[in-house]
Structure 1
Amino acid sequence: MKTGIGAKVPRKEDARHLNGTAQFVGDIKMSHLWEAAYVRSPLAHAKIKSITKPEGFEDRVFSMADMVGLGPIAAQSTLPTYNQSNHWPLAKDKVRFVGECIVMCVAPTRAEAEDLAEAVIVDLEPLPVHVTVDTALAPNAEKLHDEWENNLFLTTQFDTDLTEIRKTAAVVVEREYSTARQCMAPMEGKGALAYWDGKADQLVIYTSTQVPHLIRTGLAECMGLDQGEVRVIAPDVGGGFGYKCVLQPEELTVGWAAKHLGRPIRWTEDRREHLTAGANTREHKYKMTAYADDTGRLLGVDADIWVDVGAYSVWPFTACLEAAQAGGNLPGPYDLGAYACRTYSVATNKPGFTPYRGVARPGVCFAMELTIDAIARAVGRDPLDVRRLNLVPGSKMPYTNITGKFYDTGDYPEAARQAAEMIDAKSFAKRKAEAASTGRHLGIGFSSFTEQSAHGTKVFASWGLALVPGYEQAMVKLAPTGSVEVKSGNQTTGQGLETTIAQVASDWLSLDISSIKVTMGDTGMTPYSTGAYASRGMVMAGGAVSKASEELARRIRVLGAHLLQCKAEETELKDGAVFRGAASVSLKQIAQAWYLRPDLLPDNIETTGMEVTEGYKPTIDTGVFTYATHAAVVEVDIETGKVDILDYVIFEDCGTRVNPLILDGQSYGGAAQGIGTALFEEVIYDSAGQPLTSTLADYILPGPAELPSFRLGHSESPSPYSRHGIKGVGEGAAIAPSGALVNAINDALTPFGAEINSIPATPHRILQAIFDARDAREMLEAAE
């Protein structure tokens, strides 16, 4: 059975996960292991006046003053308006959000460590709190960071001249949109276990991370160690979604304590810690003006975007990645000729922002897709027709858009057409009318997007980051038994990467993936990689494995040709052997000749060996672009505000499909998260900055009862700029649901003149929109 590229094979990882033999940070057993717990700030903004440790336990309780040699997390950027924050692993002089670490306690068990934490007394002097961007940007607002002039991490601006368009546009649509703050909620929270290896003279840290090589760099910098003195190992990781691709304060303090105490120290995040102190994401505000002609053709867009990024800048991506991505990606898949956008990354008294699946694009897609539908209503046309009118057509590919995004291949209007056909949009008006006759309110909505995947050196450098991704590396080795070993510095967090990169190696080396062992995520064993983020795993790690496998296949044929007594160009590598006509030698025979019977080889044989390390990045550095259209049919109960998803289809194109089974799983999971963003998930704070959603009873995640039976359709437009035409798809399905669902809700609310422009579209917000529309209508009638 073929197990290479295109094969629909089960994940290699599943056996250990389903059999309970996987090993996460919390599963690791080690002698003399102690556990850590933290005293976390009960206030959102305060000065630390004093810290009193429980008597007799001073050697188990540590404040920042005790952690000599440990520096702050300081994410740097060269962008001119950037303000840098110093995030001390334990708060030094001030606390800036509820849940910030102040004191670390260690003990033989987590329960004992928590008891110690309860006994610590921290005296805090409250300061004014900023819970919204409006209060943070108000004149004379209390500054979170005293050395700053204001509460802005960064402002950016993109301008083209809209003067003439403002004068001539037949249609002007103005809207304000907002997206709620969210938590990532991976199945496994953060976790780290550190010990000092005296033999290797190394600090070894097992940590639940997507980016082990990056974390090694950050740990070394903050701890004042040479990188050779740090080894980072990512064991099994139970979900990441961006939450685990930044340096965590707990990783630093666990590492410091392990080195200081000479014993292993572990901390694992509980769910309350995650919901209150874990990094947040998604909170945007938009003010948009769109200009169009009388057919609905977009002429220009003018936008302001405010992103509430919390108290600190995360390392290495800074607090400004979200706004930079928002400004650059707002035009989306549309053929837009004029564009102006200003973004503001605002510091508030909340946990810092990390990248989250889709990074800014769920917000900008929501804003742009609702604007497209608003234009359609203004010109009296079907939103699907207006959407297809404005999408970049296949005839224009490759296409460089207004913000410099280079769209490599595809046909965006065709994806919208296919999604409409799958959901039977032509018959929907009839279905809607029939439902209305029985008092039911149906709506249909569409949402189109592009996903910039595997964007690299030039893109990250343009954001001013101090640490920029370059060539991805991989090692591929023919083992003495004839099996193959693949080593990648990237990391699997549930996305099936062990399987798909094995499939790439299988394609070149003609071995079943069961004979290909993949090792990932250990800085002591794998080549350098900046890790798993930005939908880069399959494009970058897969590309590097492909390049190394291609070279290994060449070397195998050279050795096989010698054993067959012919020239290499006369041979073929297939079915786990090198053939010349009917004669063959197996990979096992070739490997044994190289490793165990070199007497069978001539003295002038190539000495490069059966182990290949190669570096790779696509031939363009701006990323390869997946795209899709989502379509949804919903029913809205106007008495309760409840939304039922009656049908949901996704038509997507991610270039060559390496493993259709895994691709479908990525789409299901991403769409489920997107539905959470659209309808359910919201981190809520009171005016004092206290989180009100500190349990899963308050922070609502969608479950099986809330999710539809997704229907998927695919096309393939391979990228000419990546190996095998592969494009990344890890984030895509999470981007579009808010646009599709809220457009469908607004379609259902059309008879009431109501419109939802904020997510999540909860029953409360839907009912409020209906009541507001009714009140406005009654006021207008009274005035007449």
Structure 2
Amino acid sequence: MQHNQSDSAKPAGQGVGARVERKEDARHLHGKGQFVADMHMAELSEVAFLRSPLAHARIVGTTLPVEGAGRVVLRETMGDALDIVAESLLPTYQPSAQPPLAAGKVRFVGEPVAMAFAPTRAEAEDLAEAIEIEFDDLPVYASAEAAKAASADFIHEGWTHHNFLTLKADTRFDELAGQAKLVVHRSIDLARHCMVPMEGKAVLAYWDHQADMLVVCTATQVPHMIRTILAKCLGMDQGRVRVIAPDVGGAFGYKCVLQQEELCVAWLAKTHRKPFRYLEDRREHLIAGANTREHHYEMTAYADERGKILALDAHIVIDGGAYSVWPFTIGLEPGQAIGNLPGPYAFRGYRCVTECVATNKPAFVPYRGVARTGVCFAMELTMDAVARAVGREQWEVRLENLVPAELMPYVNVTNKHFDSGDYPASLLKAREMIGVDAVRERQRRVEPDGRLIGLGFATYTEQSAHGTSVFAAWGTPVIPGFDSATVRLTPDGGLEIRVGVHSHGQGMETSFAQIAHEILGIDISRIKLVHGDTAQTPYSTGTYASRSLVMSGGAVSRACKVLAPRIRHIGAHLIGARPEEVALADGRVLGPGGGVPISEVAQAWYLRPDRLPADVDPAGLETTTGFKPKVDTGAFTYATHAVTVAVDPETGHVEILDYVIVEDCGTMINPLIVEGQTYGGVAQGIGTALYEETPYDANGQPLASTLADYMLPGATEVPHMRIHHFETPSPHTEFGAKGMGEGGAIAPPAAIFNAVNDALKGLGAEVAHTPLTPRRLLEAIAEAEASRHRKAA
């Protein structure tokens, strides 16, 4: 088993493994980025939406302001636009039709009911607020439990129950559960919350009269897929729709589906042949974007006397909100949950039922880690509960259960193909870095201020770059296949790369240039990445699921490998050598008798063909090549996080004292970018653990509509983190790289809660509901004390 340590020598230069600073940072740090909000056009109108104040009601009357004639739009005005319908091939799936503007009824607070446009956003908002809507209240289903109990007035017409989907798995459960000596049960909850990217939704659309086409500039992760669905919903040929994603200020999954607002603004531009723009404000995001993470788990582990799990029984209920989104459908979340719940562990008995329930809340959207933050939280809290039940250290019981390195590659109980890695090694390294013995000694000494010290671990796998067979099994309407890249040598010897994925903070302009440099030797300052424009790039389903580096990066690698021999052939001819005698390095073709700059090779092809060899490849210095891994079930990244906390039992405050990460994402193209992604993910995971929540009252009203109510971790809440890398190359990808963009966000809630529960074990208290607010922590302590009194009585 090969895994290289982070403290080993790293390559100098600009190629694979080099710590190259991100090329794109310069323009962002100097305020020269180009976001949708930065765009200016003649006759641009700004769009504002009137949003529903009710969670579930019929629309029985509408009065439009006289001054808004021609500038206010309702659903009936948009008769030529189709509703958004995400079909699925999964059994039990019920589709929903999501209108661009509410039609006949509203289904969640914040749903767009009407839109208005004017020269300024303020004028558009005034116009929208002058619209009068009369509602007739319907029963509100503000929780999955309430929705499941409904017998009439369903959220969607034609439905007879509120389950979008129910999935089931059962593998040798009865056989292996019957052998258990110990049964441990826990109820575990994740709260609903938002993604909160720095830039919210943003879309500008206009009609290009010269090209006779609709142009939609939108902050999206998936420009090609947005073109596909916009063309369908607007009844247009895809060749007459161009989607451009400029700089995107964060996304995290929020921008990987078709938004109602994108369809509305595109319809305006198509209809009026003028430019229109919508920019989401923060309050709109917190209300209409409260759409992720809400899971409930009933977990029962069946184990032997040492804590080795033999079988797991789980019932998962996911609050899916009002609509199934396009293209991933609501099936993605329960599909990921039921498949990834076992995590990195080797038990063979498994039974799971996952229900996704429609409620009067915003539609559930994939968020960084897609279900895996939830399943890691549930699995790791259960693992700690088993450890406490058998009286062993948390790390010892994990070590007992992790897939051993010698069994790699390994196919687990849900048919996940773990391609490579050493899971126990990551746990043991995290144990060493966090200093278990020192933490236990500190616990025994007792803190002078009365705070309680706790230690927590969480180990997880991240299924990255999963492809055709996986998405086909989930029945999604769009299924990823090959990703393509075009590479082109420019006439002056630079390199242009075109890919269909799009960056929203991942550093693609740097990483893809490093891949090309590794093969062609061209300085990365002379390598330009073109992405985010359907008119200029090859088709890709886009950026999601930690896939871009593996898929499009793999295509860049393959395309450069196609181009390299063509460059060598021309260069060898120019220096009088045979092609097999020359190599590419430092921007030159080098041979036994000297070398020639690649720029001279390019000049020969484009400007001086009289200098070309007679047998030159007529395909020239440009190629488009596709790539997907040899096994498309995913390249599995993994990591162990360990954390030490101090808990104040009087105030409920939790302080993170130490945080360590031991991760393996295969060969790192750029360790700086890997670490930046990991640190950012951990910050989001800390938000999930301790701060972020959108609660709802019984009427479906969101109770956190401003950043005074919706808490986010800031610089003072994110601790210094220590990270250690293993590098176990994947056997299925270019350079052995694995995706890792989501991983940092998966483990923190589990690790932090396990640390807090470790601190509270002397009090008999336990917490299992995010976020871990002081109120929840103090309630758990009070409940434990009351329980002790009841038992004593």
Measured against the shorter chain, the TM-score band is: over 0.9
Structure 1 distance, partners of 2:17, 2:615, is: 39
Equivalent residue, structure 1, for 2:145: 134
**Secondary structure in structure 1 of the residue aligned to 2:380:** helix
Deviation at 1:437, TM superposition (A): 6.5
Cα deviation per residue 1:574-618 (whole Å; 9 max; x = unaligned)? 111111114111111000000011111245421101111100000
How far 1:279 moved relative to its partner?
A: 5.1
Q: Tell me whether 1:41 sits opposite 2:52 in the alignment.
A: yes
Counterpart residue type for residue 16 of structure 1: R
The one-character-per-residue Cα deviations of 1:311-356 (angstroms, maximum 9, x if unpaired) are: 0011000012111100000000000110000000100000001110
String of CA shifts for 1:744-775, please: whole Å, max 9, x gaps.
00010011100001111111110000000111
3-state SS of paired residue (2:504): coil
| CA-CA distance at 1:141 after TM superposition | 5.0
Runs of 4+ deviating beyond 6 Å:
none
* Offset at residue 139 of structure 1 (A): 4.8
Q: Equivalents in 1 of 2:710, 2:441: separation in Å?
A: 38
Measured after TM superposition, the shift of residue 778 of structure 1 is: 0.3
Give the letter for the 1:169 counterpart.
A
- Paired with 2:446 and 2:248, the residues of 1 have a C-alpha distance of 46
Partner of 1:518: 529
Relative to structure 1, the CA distance from residue 187 to residue 139 in structure 2 (aligned partners, 3 Å threshold; closer, same or farther) is closer
Secondary structure at the aligned position of 2:97 is classed as coil
Aligned to 1:310: 321
- Contact 1:561–1:567 (CA<8 Å) still a contact in 2? yes
Secondary structure of the structure 2 residue equivalent to 1:420: helix
1:632, 1:645 within 8 Å by CA — same for their partners in 2? Answer: yes
1:269-668 aligned at under 5 Å gives the runs 269-278=280-289, 280-436=291-447, 439-668=450-679
Q: Distance in 2 between matches of 1:181 and 1:100?
A: 17
CA change 1:492–1:17 in 2 (3 A) is same
Match of 2:125 among 114, 122, 134: 114
Q: Supply the distance in 1 between the matched residues of 2:684 and 2:741 (Cα, whole angstroms).
A: 12
1:259 aligned partner = 270
Q: Report the alpha carbon displacement of residue 117 of structure 1 after superposing the two structures with TM.
A: 0.3
Cα distance in 1, alignment partners of residues 181 and 153 from structure 2: 44
Count of aligned residue pairs for this structure pair: 782
Partner SS for 2:299:
strand
Partner of 2:792: 781
Superposed CA deviations along residues 286-326 of structure 1, whole A, max 9, x for unmatched, are 01110000011100000000000100011000012111100
Partner of 2:105: 94
What is the rounded CA distance, in whole Å, between the counterparts of 2:510 and 2:359 in structure 1?
42
| Percent identity of paired positions between Structure 1 and Structure 2 | 57
Asked whether the equivalents of residues 177 and 310 of structure 2 are also in contact (C-alpha less than 8 Å), the reply is no
Quote the Cα distance in structure 2 between the aligned partners of 1:602 and 1:736.
57
Unaligned runs of 5+ residues in structure 1 are none
Aligned pairs for 1:169-184 (under 5 A) are: 169-184=180-195
Q: Counterpart amino acid of 1:113?
A: A
Letter of the structure 2 residue corresponding to residue 127 of structure 1: L
Distance in 2 separating the partners of 1:617 and 1:160: 30
Are 1:233 and 2:244 an aligned pair?
A: yes
| Structure-2 separation of matches of 1:523 and 1:350 | 33
* 2:150/2:162 contact within 8 Å kept: no
1:554 to partner: Cα distance? 1.2
Separation of aligned partners in 1, 2:478 and 2:271: 29
SS at match of 2:600: helix
Query: Compared with structure 1, are the counterparts of its residues 378 and 141 closer, same or farther at alpha carbon in structure 2 (3 Å cutoff)?
Result: farther
The one-letter code matched in structure 2 to 1:526 is: T
Q: Name the structure 1 match of 2:225.
A: 214
Does the 8 Å contact 2:150/2:161 carry over to 1? no
**Deviation, structure 1 residue 142:** 3.2
- Partner AA of 2:603 in structure 1: Q
Corresponding residue for residue 165 of structure 2: 154
One-letter amino acid matched to 2:274: R
Question: Contact (CA 8 Å) 1:279, 1:354: kept in 2 or not?
Answer: no
Instruction: Determine helix, strand or coil for the equivalent of 1:66.
Output: helix
Please name the residue that 1:722 is paired with. Answer: 733
Matched with 1:755 is 766
| Residues in 2 aligned to 1:183 and 1:114: alpha-carbon distance in whole angstroms | 24
CA distance in 1, matches of 2:213, 2:403: 53
Aligned AA (1:61): V
Q: Is the CA contact 2:317–2:354 (under 8 Å) kept in the aligned structure 1?
A: yes
The letter of the residue matching 2:784 is: A
Is contact 2:312–2:350 with CA below 8 Å preserved after alignment? yes
Q: Distance in 1 between matches of 2:555 and 2:670?
A: 18
SS in 2 for 1:476: strand
- What is the rounded CA distance, in whole Å, between the counterparts of 1:575 and 1:232 in structure 2? 37
Matching residue of 1:164: 175
SS at match of 2:283: helix
CA distance, structure 1, for counterparts of residue 744 and residue 177 of structure 2:
35
Q: 1:455 corresponds to which letter in structure 2?
A: H
User: Which AA in structure 1 matches 2:29?
Assistant: L
Cα root mean square deviation, aligned: 1.0
Please list the CA deviations of residues 641-663 of structure 1 after superposition, one character each: whole Å capped at 9, or x if unmatched: 00000000000000001111111
Could you tell me which residue of structure 2 aligns to residue 742 of structure 1?
Answer: 753
Residue 690 of structure 1 aligns with an amino acid whose one-letter code is Q
Question: Which of 701, 712, 722 is matched with 1:711 structurally?
Answer: 722
Are 2:49 and 2:115, in contact at CA under 8 Å, matched by a contact in 1?
yes
Q: Deviation of residue 435 (structure 1)?
A: 2.6
- 3-state SS in 1 of match to 2:601: helix
Tell me the equivalent position of 2:23.
12
Q: TM-score, normalised by structure 2?
A: 0.98
TM-score by length of 1: 0.99
CA drift of 1:55 comes to 1.0
The structural deviation recorded for 1:438 is 5.7
Q: Deviations over 1:98-137 (max 9, x none)?
A: 0101111010110110010011011111100011110000
| 8 Å CA contact 1:2, 1:512 repeated in 2 | no
CA contact (8 A) 1:52 1:120 kept: yes
| Corresponding position of 2:6 | none
Whether the 8 Å CA contact 1:243–1:279 is kept in 2: the answer is no
* Cα distance in structure 2, aligned partners of 1:466 and 1:540: 20
Q: Is 374-383 or 577-586 further displaced after alignment?
A: 577-586
Letter aligned with residue 260 of structure 2: P
Alignment of 1:65 onto 2:87: no
Instruction: Tell me, in whole angstroms, the C-alpha distance in 2 between the residues paired with 1:659 and 1:262.
Output: 44
CA shift at 1:566, angstroms? 2.7
Rounded Cα–Cα distance in structure 1 between residues aligned with 2:449 and 2:148: 50
SS in 2 for 1:644: strand
Instruction: Supply the AA of the counterpart residue of 2:159.
Output: W
Counterpart secondary structure, 1:704? coil
Whole-Å separation in 1 of the counterparts to 2:70 and 2:272: 9
